[in-house]
Structure 1
Amino acid sequence: MVKKIYKIFIVPYTLFLLYLMFLGMGRFQYDENVVRIKPVISTIEFVQGTIRWEDIIRIVLGNIVMFVPFGFLGWIFPRLRDLKSLLFSFMSAIVIVEALQYFTRMGIFETDDVILNTFGVYLGFLICQFIEKNYKRLVS
């Protein structure tokens, strides 16, 4: 039952997330292409330069939590039941999305986004494994 709900939920959720990544949350087109490739440094600089904790939580935790549902993709694509395959596929996809943000100037290509988003998928994978192990009747 849960897998059926997930299959219905994940496509509109993905479209909504793409909307947020390119058009939502006050997005605008930058005058020039921006790339931040120093891992962790840009997030630390963001946290230090931000006065409001709400912004820090929304951006940093949002970049993790919003991607947790993709840790369950093995329910739809059996090939992605393996963590290595899931993370490789996801990282390939998120790098493409980040590159599109860069080339369209509707966002910034940030290494930290790739890291945080992938961590969210990893957490989702762990949650999925936990649910499958402890709630077999619910999942089937």
Structure 2
Amino acid sequence: MLKKVYKIAIIPYTLFLLYLMFLGMGRYQYEDNLITVKPIFSTIKFIQTADGWKDIVIIVLGNIIMFIPFGFLGWIFPRFKDLKTLCIAFISAIVIVEALQYFTRMGIFEVDDILLNTFGVYLGWQIRIFVEKKLSC
């Protein structure tokens, strides 16, 4: 049952996530193409300069939590049950999305986003393994 719900929900969820990444949360088109390539430093700087914990939770934890469902892709595509294959495919896809944000100027190409999103996928993969063991899916 859980796998069936996932198979139905992941497509609209992905579309919703793409909406958020390009149009949602008050996004606007930047004047210039922006890129942040120093891993971790931009996130640390963001945390230090954030107005409050709410912004930190929404941006930093959001970049992790929102991608947890992609760790379950092995339920639809058996080859993604393997963590290495899943991560290679996901990193390829998220780099394309980040590049599209850069080229459309509807976001910033940020290496930290790639790292945080991939960590979310990894957590989802771990949760999937746990769920499968507990529920014998």
> What TM-score range do you get, normalising by the shorter chain?
over 0.9
* Residues 56-97 of structure 1, C-alpha deviations (whole Å, 9 max, x = no match): 110000000000000000000011110000000000000000
Alignment of 1:76-95 (within 5 A): 76-95=76-95
**C-alpha separation between the residues in 2 aligned to 1:104 and 1:22?**
9
| Deviation (angstroms), 1:134 | 1.1
CA distance in 2, matches of 1:94, 1:8: 22
Question: Which residue matches 2:2?
Answer: 2
TM superposition score normalised by structure 1: 0.97
Matched length: 137
What is residue 68 of structure 2 aligned with on the other side?
68
Hey, what does 1:130 align to over in structure 2? Answer: 130
| Moved >4 Å (runs of 4+) | none
Q: Does residue 1:30 correspond to 2:30, yes or no? A: yes
1:54 equivalent to 2:54? Answer: yes
Could you tell me how far apart the structure 2 residues matched to 1:132 and 1:45 are?
38
Unaligned runs of 5+ in 1: none
Structure 2: runs of 5 or more not aligned: none
Residue in 1 that maps onto 2:16 = 16
Q: What value does the CA root-mean-square deviation take over the aligned residues?
A: 0.5
| Distance (Å, rounded) in 2 between the aligned partners of 1:80 and 1:125 | 9
Give the alignment's TM-score, normalised by structure 2. 0.99
Paired residue type of 1:118:
T
